Structure 1
């Protein structure tokens, strides 16, 4: 599957987001990323054929079978995106803070035990507009379905929990910490001085207004205290 649209929307000299990655051999992986962009939403991503098929879920997943959560299908994302957590800088597509809200493995409802055969089944279901899966995550477990709908255009789907032993009326989004860093969106945004992309990091050198003001005040004070000297009859201040 192509990542051309994903790459077209991004400038990789400015954003730390990954460009590719090689899938694992034995299991299909999923990730759900909480993304505080122009609007807070959850990115629901399923590995298929080496990329992550992706849906933006505005209200986030639900464990209640009565809830039918809107899921807007977006461009495929690279496999390495499953571990992306940190900050996309302002001025870039999707600018904002991202955490890995949940992750794990998944299979089609009728698991063959073979990854390639499972992928074939899932791709057929995707094309037919009805994907039925079993999730083995830390927060999301059991059976779910993605069903295509015309509710908000051709890219709109519904994410629905099946009525199984993991179904619940409890709001699972209240579990708001990353399964990787154990931080909330706001904690990552306020305390992190790095942008993480998979296992690599780029320093953003985030400075608070207080730090900047303190630095400026220190520079002013240093300038005031530097001694003046005479040079050819002209008084100058040492720099």
Structure 2
């Protein structure tokens, strides 16, 4: 499927990986709705790409359905969904102050995993009702996992569990949506230069870069966006999880 002339939604599109993806899809001719909890950030990206900004908590089922309807009303039936919205928390299961607070674990699972599932189920329902394109396809969904899904470090239990769930969603969702002509793929990025790393001292960032075999640098959001575009355009790519990590395998800590 080509992004050109098709309606797309990018969650977490106000910054980082989502922003880069929204900008690339728009440059390829897609009509993009940028969804983010930070409306100001979403509006800034939308203004640059002639898109639509929508403020949303992706875990809210009612608001999420309304957001998809709003995107469709502005751009036509949504055929592309890219889920980039996510959060992280660094905490040991058993820390110095005792067990990890359950609500901290729950928040990460809710936003990363349940939020991804929520948007996927609602978007897929809309895609299934669209007329098929010439190749029989109706839509494509790209989710964002992480190398932490398989290489989870100490202190990453919540994040790793949430991303592992996203990895596990790819195959059953792709199998279920096959009869509708909707594909599902997942990108699992390694260490990327995103807002999460902006506040880390440069020396610490350099150490992170040195730990990556090749190329020995942090990933660029534009490279993530390129992988998303590949997952959208390659019609035979389905149910796949693509590691995008410079060959890194995360150590225990």
* TM-score bin (small chain): under 0.3
TM-score computed with the length of structure 1 as normaliser: 0.26
Richer in strand (by share): 1
The structure carrying a bigger helix percent of its residues is 2
**Which of 1 and 2 has greater Rg?**
1
User: TM-score of the superposition, structure 2-length normalised?
Assistant: 0.25
